[in-house]
Amino acid sequence: MSVEVVVKVLRENEEISLPEYGTPFSAGADLRASEAAVLLPGERASIPTGLRIELPEGYEAQVRPRSGLAIRHGVTILNAPGTIDSDYRGEIRVLLINHGQEAFTI
């Protein structure tokens, strides 16, 4: 049995990338930053995506870290998993921290 869940997505402008699945069997879609940023070693930042979503009542979305970013660069999500509640209508932002030894460009 499958259930269709409708998620409405609003982009702040047409140049904002929609989330995409990296492979046919990816468990989650990849988010992208809407503007470039440099995260210095030890620094944390709230990274904008330029996306807003509307979830049905009773559902949530999660923002999870990528293992490749963590192992190669020491960059991960500060509040993993980040929860997006069904009644939140603000811009999705990702709280990143750089545990690495070098600056990381987003």
Instruction: Report the CATH number at residue 32.
Output: 2.70.40.10
Within-domain flag for 3: no
pLDDT at 55 over 90: yes
Within-domain flag for 36: yes
Within-domain flag for 81: yes
Provide the residue range defining the domain that includes 41.
8-105
Within-domain flag for 69: yes
For 44-77, letters b (16+ CB in 10 Å) and e give ebebbbbbbbebeeeeebebebbeebeeebbbbb
pLDDT for the residue 44: 98
pLDDT at 82 over 90: yes
pLDDT for the residue 92: 98
Within-domain flag for 2: no
Average of per-residue pLDDT values in the chain:
95
